[in-house]
Amino acid sequence: MKRREFITKMGTGVLAAGAGMASVSNAHAAGKRFRWKMVTTWPPNFPIFQDGVKRFAKEVRRMSRGALTIQVFAGGELIPALQSFDAVSQGTVEMGHGSAYYWAGKIPAAQFFTAVPFGLNAQGMNAWLYGGGGLGLWREVYAPHKLVPFPMGNTGVQMGGWFRKKIDTVADLKGIKMRIPGLGGKVIAKAGVNPVLLPAGEIYTALERGTIDATEWVGPYHDLRLGLYRAAKYYYYPGWHEPGPTLEMIINTKAWEALPRELQLIVKNAAMASNLWMLSEFEARNLEALQTLKEKYHVQVIEFPEAVLAELKKLTALTLQEEAAKDATFKMVYEKYQQFQRTHDAWNEISESAYARARRD
């Protein structure tokens, strides 16, 4: 190599190193167009969930002036719904949308990032994730899987579920078969319920035929659409098992790191906006659907008896302790979650709860 050539090359190298890796890759990426694929765990046209994801993709495309286009696929359209975690982790597709507790088999601690029985509600989850260190923990837990998670959606407090017979005492739970996933299923099993897992498409038929005696699903808006009122007449509340489930958006780490900073900011903020949009949709639409269920379909809407809730609460503490003893990461996240919940509850007691009491009295 000639001396002059060598010096020129050295100079370029020094310049690049001086500018820092991030800005070099951003300089290369500037003006580059990204075409990503996003797979969800939801059925096509699933209201609020799948609609919210499509809305997110459209907004990202508009805000980035077409620099980032995201093609959205519902569960089963490109890959089976529950394989989205692996598909994004392996980089087959860049993004996914679903809920973290679907991956409890791989990461037991993931359940904290969706919902914990008798745990935080939607407001509490957002406070923990955005303001209380929860999102940092979530990133830490997902990092070995080459995934970057974002909160993106929340259903608010769900309903307790549909029952074919009345639940007056804890003993009435014994021996019934109920579709209820996650930690809620583990808790209620201790009360004698036989919890089963069924995808959305099979719930109605199973309940109608009596293959199951009860099911939880989402809330009035989604439950009305699934027609569950035709198979069971007792609709219990509150959703003690899912008090404010957060939905998640996941991005393959390599794909995320290759994205210019400006596009990262667009994705991050669009996800935050979608988180609020979905929760607002649920809050705005549930009551009207509940009125329809009551008035048009004569559903009996009943609060779980106090003794039943007290027993389930006791069994929740037991279940969480058992799970923590089995998995170190679960234990670590559980301790931090619990610590946040305690302080949030204390603040809630003199803010939201006190206000709710004042309104009632």
Minimal distance in Å, beta carbon 158 to Ca ion? 5
The contact mask relative to Ca ion for 172-191 (x = CB under 5 A, - = no) is --------------------
The contact mask relative to Ca ion for 195-234 (x = CB under 5 A, - = no) is ---------------------x------------------
Minimal distance in Å, beta carbon 139 to Ca ion? 25
Nearer Cβ to Ca ion, position 126 or 155?
155
Nearer Cβ to Ca ion, position 242 or 323?
242
Nearer Cβ to Ca ion, position 150 or 217?
217
Minimal distance in Å, beta carbon 41 to Ca ion? 13
Minimal distance in Å, beta carbon 282 to Ca ion? 12
Nearer Cβ to Ca ion, position 272 or 301?
301
Nearer Cβ to Ca ion, position 132 or 219?
219
Minimal distance in Å, beta carbon 309 to Ca ion? 17
Gap between the Cα atoms of 120 and 339, Å rounded: 12
Residues 123-162 that bind Ca ion (CB under 5 A): 158
Nearer Cβ to Ca ion, position 255 or 309?
309
Minimal distance in Å, beta carbon 18 to Ca ion? 53
Contact set with Ca ion (CB under 5 A) = 158, 216, 242
